[in-house]
Amino acid sequence: MASPVDPHQYTLKKAVNCCGVGLHSGRTVNLTIKPAPVNNGIRFFRSDLIDGKHIQAHMDKVIDTRLATTIGDNKIKVSTTEHLMAALCGFGVDNANIELDAAEVPIMDGSAAPFIHLLKKSGLKKQDGLRKVLRITKKITYTDGDKTISVTPYDGFKVTGEIVFDDTLIKSQKYSLNVNADRFIKEISRARTFGYVEQVEELWANGLALGGTLDNVIAIHWNRKSILNEDGLRFDDEFIRHKVLDLIGDLALLGCQILGHVTARKTGHTQHLAFMKAIADFPDCWELIELKQNGTHSVLDQVVSSTRAAGDMIMPFFKPQPQPVALPEAVF
Ligand SMILES: [Zn+2]
């Protein structure tokens, strides 16, 4: 398993596949994760469409952040990318081609654990190419009402999440970890998605969450004190662990590793996307670096090159916007 600050790029040793249902469509989906060459990044292919084009898993391709993160390009779209992207990032996969025969990544058990199981079955293959890393040099903060997300310089990839719910079950939860494969697998990957039972019923009434069952969603009881799932929670604080999982999966759409400490309070997919755009809009606060081969100590010692605002030259890695857009909420 590769650490986020391992200088090499990694792909899979062999293709692996699974079958599940889409959370919102309720349709059966076959998913195959295949090895891919250096600098490929993560690409999604729709085998059910005649057009063989792919979508790059990149923040520029996000077309919807309600309920789940959806990426799209012309007629091709893929939704609910976040748990699979989190598994790929957490396990240390830089390059993979994902093939689907429907518009939605299967929800599996509502966590990233089934995807980790697949990736373990394949194993990682070290590649010749070196990773590009987005190193944060100054604090960037995005604020949306009482939801805030910021990143500060840090010698590693650290994530802190916090949620505050007005109930007696979740209440206030906070979770922080240095992201590496071991910790991601043990502490984060098994945390499932959740919702209030009446929200699930409302989604059903609107033709959404059709694949949602107690096998893939934690349903919070009307009384706000317990859950409907008979087997209970996997962790006492499973809710915030799942929010951290979502955050890692969305941030993977930057297209490269982050060297920084991301702190998110009360955020969801919409704020995660706005935050990534805020990062792109402030190139004075980061630099793209390539890690030195066989580096073993501080990441700061591993820097061999630095690229600032290199734009299309570095695709599929982080691609800044050409001009800042109005983001009055972004503060330093
Ligand atoms: Zn989720």
Tens of pLDDT along the chain (332 residues) come to 445 568 899 999 999 999 999 988 899 999 999 999 999 999 999 999 987 789 999 999 999 998 899 999 878 999 999 999 999 999 999 999 999 999 999 999 999 999 999 999 999 999 999 998 999 999 999 999 999 999 999 999 999 999 999 888 999 999 999 999 999 999 999 999 999 988 888 888 888 888 889 999 999 998 888 999 999 999 999 999 999 999 999 999 999 989 999 999 999 999 999 999 999 999 999 999 987 765 443 444 444 444 433 343 334 555 544 444 443 333 33
Structure tokens at 7: 């200088």
Give the closest residue to 84 by CA, choosing from 158, 157, 23.
Answer: 23
CA of 86 to the centre of ligand 1 (A): 10
Q: What is the pLDDT of residue 318?
A: 56
Euclidean distance between CA atoms 219 and 229, whole angstroms? 7
Distance of alpha carbon 124 from alpha carbon 11, whole angstroms: 6
- The span from the CA of 30 to the CA of 104, in Å, is 10
Give residue 104's identity as a one-letter amino acid code. Answer: E
Between the CA of 197 and the centroid of ligand 1 the distance, in Å, is: 16
Pairing of strands 286-291, 132-136: antiparallel
The CA 102 to ligand 1 mean position distance, Å, reads 19
- Residue 312 has what pLDDT? 38
CA 253 to ligand 1 center in whole angstroms: 15
Residue 312 CA to chain centroid, in angstroms?
Answer: 22
Q: Which of 58, 83, 269, 272 is catalytic?
A: 269
- For the chain, how many helices (H) and strands (E)? 6, 20
* pLDDT of 1: 46
Question: How many Å lie between the centroid of ligand 1 and the Cα of residue 108?
Answer: 12
Distance 230 CA to ligand 1 centre (A): 20
Give the model's pLDDT for residue 307.
43
Q: What is the pLDDT of residue 332?
A: 31
Does the pTM of the predicted model rise above 0.85?
A: yes
Q: C-alpha 143: how far from its chain's center? A: 20
Residues less than 5 Å from ion ligand 1, measured at CB: 193, 246
- Assess contact for 188 and 295: CB atoms under 8 A: no
Q: What is the CATH number of domain 8-129?
A: 3.30.230.20
Write the CB contacts of 330 (distance below 8 Å, at least 6 apart in sequence): 140, 141, 142, 143, 278, 281, 282
> 236-289 pLDDT, tens per residue?
999 999 999 999 999 999 999 899 999 999 999 999 999 999 999 999 999 999
In the chain, where the domains are located: 8-129, 132-314
- Residue 301 CA, ligand 1 centroid: distance in Å: 35
pLDDT value at residue 258: 93
Q: What is the CA(246)–ligand 1 centre distance, in A?
A: 5
- Confidence (pLDDT) at 65: 94
Class at the top of the CATH hierarchy for domain 132-314? alpha beta
- Identify whether 269 is a catalytic site residue: yes
Per-residue pLDDT at 317: 53
The whole-number pLDDT of residue 205 equals: 86
- Is residue 89 exposed (0-12), middle (13-18) or buried (19+ Cβ within 10 Å)? buried
For the CA atoms of 260, 98, 116, 150, what is the dihedral angle to 10 degrees? 20
